Amino acid sequence: MSEFITMGEPLVIFAATQIDSSLVDATNFDKTMGGAELNVAIGVSRLHHSTQYISQVGDEPLGAYVEKTIQHHHVGTKYLRQVRNLGTGHQFKQLVSHGDPGITYYRKNSAASKIETAAVDQVDLSDVRIGHLSGIFAAVSEETLTAEKRLMQRLTEKGALVTFDPNLRPQLWPNQTKMIQTINELATHADVILPGIGEGKILTGYDTPEDIANFYLSNRQTKAVIVKVGPKGSYVKARHEQGYFVSGFHVEHVVDTVGAGDGFALGVISALLEHKSLKEAALRGNAIGALQVQTPGDNDGYPTPEQLALFYQRNQVVISS
């Protein structure tokens, strides 16, 4: 059994090794694995929490690679299904010296995109305390959106905490209006919402972290909103409480921003699993986001408990017991 569960599309990543070469010109690639929700599961597992991951891959070499790699990260694969005659989603990613890398996706009609609600209904949620969803899987297909709604419903009925990261990917949506309407509707079923400040402006029309938080706190189910504000840290607001900022951490050199938002989410989730306060959860999210941007992979910077403690020590962070 597992205390944490998530659902998404795993992606095999072919990451260019030639710095600042376009994907047209790059000829050498390293094969790794990513996917926003899976990144979160890997990070939560690395901090010694039991996890399960719901998804589908192709019954082919890339699918076998995904399953093997997920197991290597000690993430549960009980609900990872191999599907015949469908492929595994993958992407090619540029290596850049600054800024965000160019990325090309190959995920249309993938195995994960054809997931059915029956797969969600078969999941045992008995010991699950937190379930995490994001806007990415909802955007992949009508099937994934329906499955995501069903998992949110089941988690709520069971009494588990539902965390939600909007994780906007405009290229996956038919238009911005559909994206905004769908993401905000999903957010009404979440207990804790984790938007970035830029995402919040698009989704709510408001410019400040406080107004973005208040917009989502109007949802009957939402208990807290934590807005990511980049290097400055995050803004935390719980229902019927004053909001406040939690400072970020200085990073000398940013290698790759991919996975930082997922790192923030896993920091919050793992802290809540350990019965930490929202303030400590946001602080951990800030810390893991800062660690992740200093590495080239999608989840290479996610720490073990010992590495997290060392990072806090180096940054003179004192956590109350």
Residue 120 has pLDDT above 60, yes or no: yes
113 part of a folded domain: yes
Cα→Cα distances 130→4, 125, 152, 195, Å: 5, 10, 11, 18
DSSP string, 120-143: HHT---TT--EEEEEHHHHHH-HH
287 part of a folded domain: yes
319 part of a folded domain: no
> Is residue 266 within 8 Å of 288, Cβ to Cβ?
yes
pTM confidence score: 0.92
> Which candidate in 165, 191, 262, 298 is catalytic?
262
Q: How far apart are CA 99 and CA 197, in angstroms?
A: 18
Give the CB-side neighbour count of residue 208, counting CA atoms within 13 A: 7
Mean pLDDT of the chain: 93
Residue 13's domain spans which residues? 4-314
Number of domains in the chain: 1
Residue 255 has pLDDT above 70, yes or no: no
321 part of a folded domain: no
**124 labelled catalytic:** no
301 part of a folded domain: yes
70 part of a folded domain: yes
What secondary structure letter does DSSP report for 196?
B
pLDDT at 202: 98
What secondary structure letter does DSSP report for 174?
S
pLDDT at 294: 62
Question: What percentage of the chain has pLDDT greater than the value 90?
Answer: 81
pLDDT at 16: 93
- CATH number of the domain that 202 lies in? 3.40.1190.20
